[in-house]
């Protein structure tokens, strides 16, 4: 599947929020409760920081990536794939873009995942992220591709990706 990426613009905000809502509402509700106004305001503020790119496949918007480069790391703020486009390797290809950026910059990649979102949590573990913090609601995970971290990291997920 050939994906394309384009910088999100202010006119995309409604589609971005709708995609976020359709993919994340159940998890946000479980952890914090869902308040439409505060979610909309927080989302709008968040996507103004860092880089937000819309992922398209065959000219159809199917998800988005949002990341931020900090002095010593890269944060994957959000990876949302529209529900009708999930399980088609879109997430795998999209995260590969950010993993490549992280590796190129020689900075670890961090993300948050809701502990109740077991599918996402297990997928991140499978591709090589390790949990470094968990408060029972949100887990902080890290993927460090720097040479110094390689002897300490379980490489089975990397081998899985390489052997596919």
> Over the stretch 20-64, which tens digit does the pLDDT of each residue have?
999 999 999 999 999 999 999 999 998 888 899 999 998 899 999
pLDDT band, very low/low/confident/very high, at 1 (cuts 50, 70, 90): confident
Q: What is the 3-state secondary structure (H, E, C) of the chain?
A: CCEEEEECCHHHHHHHHHHHHHHHHHHHHHHCCCCHHHHHHHHHHHHCCCEEEEEEECCEEEEEEEEEEECCEEEEEEEEECHHHCCCCHHHHHHHHHHHHHHHHCCCEEEEEECCCHHHHHHHHHCCCEEEEECCCEEEEEECCCHHHHHHCCCHHHHHHHHC
**Whether the predicted pLDDT of 164 surpasses 50:** no
Q: Give me the domains of the chain, ranges plus CATH numbers.
A: 3-163 (3.40.630.30)
**Whether the predicted pLDDT of 148 surpasses 80:** no
Q: Which residue has the higher pLDDT, 98 or 49?
A: 98
For the chain, the residue count is 164
Of 43-57, 125-139, 142-156, the one with minimum mean pLDDT is: 142-156
- Tell me what the pLDDT averaged over the chain comes to: 88
**Whether the predicted pLDDT of 160 surpasses 90:** no
């Amino acid at each position: 599947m050939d994906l394309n990426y384009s910088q999100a613009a202010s006119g995309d905000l409604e589609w971005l929020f709708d995609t976020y809502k359709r993919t994340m509402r159940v998890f946000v509700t479980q952890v914090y409760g869902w308040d439409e106004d505060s979610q909309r305001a927080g989302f709008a503020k968040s996507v103004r920081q860092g880089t937000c790119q819309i992922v398209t496949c065959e000219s159809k918007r199917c998800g988005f990536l949002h990341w931020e480069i900090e002095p010593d790391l890269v944060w994957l703020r959000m990876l949302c794939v529209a529900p009708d486009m999930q399980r088609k390797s879109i997430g795998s290809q999209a995260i590969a873009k950010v993993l490549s950026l992280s590796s190129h910059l020689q900075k670890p990649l961090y993300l948050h995942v809701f502990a109740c979102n077991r599918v996402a949590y297990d997928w991140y573990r499978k591709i090589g992220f390790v949990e470094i913090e968990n408060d029972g609601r949100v887990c902080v995970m890290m993927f460090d591709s720097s040479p110094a971290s390689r002897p300490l990291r379980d490489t089975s997920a990397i081998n899985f990706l390489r052997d596919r």
